[in-house]
Amino acid sequence: MLLPDYADIEAAAERIAPWAVVTPLLESPALNARMGTRVLLKAEPFQRTGSFKFRGACNRIRLIPEAERKRGVIAFSSGNHAQGVAAAAALFDLSATIVMPADAPRAKIEGTRAYGAKIVNYDRKRDDREAIARRIQEETGATLIKPFDDPFVVAGQGTAGREMAAQARAIGVPIDRVFVPASGGGVASGIALAFAHDSPATKVMSVEPAGYEGMALSLAAGMRKAAPADKPSMADALQAPMPGEVPFAVAKQYLAGGVAVSDEDLARAVSYAVRVLKIVIEPSGGAGLAALLSSNHHHKGEVIGIVLSGGNADPEVIADCCARVPQP
């Protein structure tokens, strides 16, 4: 199995630099006061397409040999990877086909279509999205851009961690612990790899919805384990029951552990982000903030880093979270 190393993250950062946004590292006096420590927020909703996913998609697409580009790309995704692939493909004049669940958030479907991608819908309860993508790949010869189980996608996502560590160094604030949303584990493992090189003392934690804590279970077992996944989560982008092979092989070396959050925790994070931080995040993108606000997953006085991984939510979802937790 080919695994990424820190040199791959450095190469990815250089490769995507002309197109990817260096997202800000933000700090809120109100959040610091509430938590009794400094909290630094890596704001990936300000990334191109509204999430970190553009990083990995752009890096992987840039590596497609010229002779194969005319056949286009294909991906399967509930939305953020879909938009990342569609946007990167449009930048380099490649056709893109995205296999998306029919119940994906409207904002994600519309965003993907706006970049010119062809969308193939599937039923997430009955259909096998990977099988659908493989069939289309066999018919067209398109390059499959996996959402997380690809070393070059993981390296691309790791550029967010490299930036975050550098930004913290620039203000002279070493981060003790970082909370990163996880599904298949691409961004959590990539960021953990980056911090292992740039800030070895920093502990990186994955955060998953309750019932989908496959990374936490796998880390505890020392091998890939599937979570129950017995009921839907409002975190539509974090519903992979088990981490990918590549992300887990990286994560078991570098992640310090994993925690789970409830839908109530996620709603609180979205409401807090809107009401106090003045940032729109989707429930999935707020998992790290949810872990911080909802329980004691850190030690007193630790400087905390939070990856706000995306902001692609339908307005109704944001409104529902704010109504559900009016005083977050």
pLDDT the model gives residue 144: 97
List the one residue out of 16, 22, 4, 116 whose CA is nearest residue 58. Answer: 16
Degrees to nearest 5, angle at CA 288 with 24 and 217 = 140
- Pair 199, 173: CB distance under 8 Å: no
d(CA 290, CA 270): 8
pLDDT the model gives residue 124: 85
pLDDT the model gives residue 267: 98
Q: In order of start, what are the domains of the chain with their CATH numbers?
A: 6-52+150-324 (3.40.50.1100), 54-144 (3.40.50.1100)
Residue 125 structure tokens? 């309860």
Q: Of all residues in the chain, what percent are helix, strand and coil, respectively (each to 5)?
A: 50, 15, 35
**pLDDT tens track of the chain, all 328 residues?**
899 999 999 999 999 999 999 999 999 999 999 999 999 999 999 999 999 999 999 999 999 999 999 999 999 998 899 999 999 999 999 999 999 999 999 999 999 999 999 999 999 889 999 999 999 999 999 999 999 999 999 999 999 999 999 999 999 999 999 999 999 999 999 999 999 999 999 999 999 999 999 999 999 999 999 999 999 999 999 999 999 999 999 999 999 999 999 999 999 999 999 999 999 999 999 999 999 999 778 788 899 999 999 999 999 999 999 999 999 9
No. of H helices and E strands in the chain? Answer: 14, 10
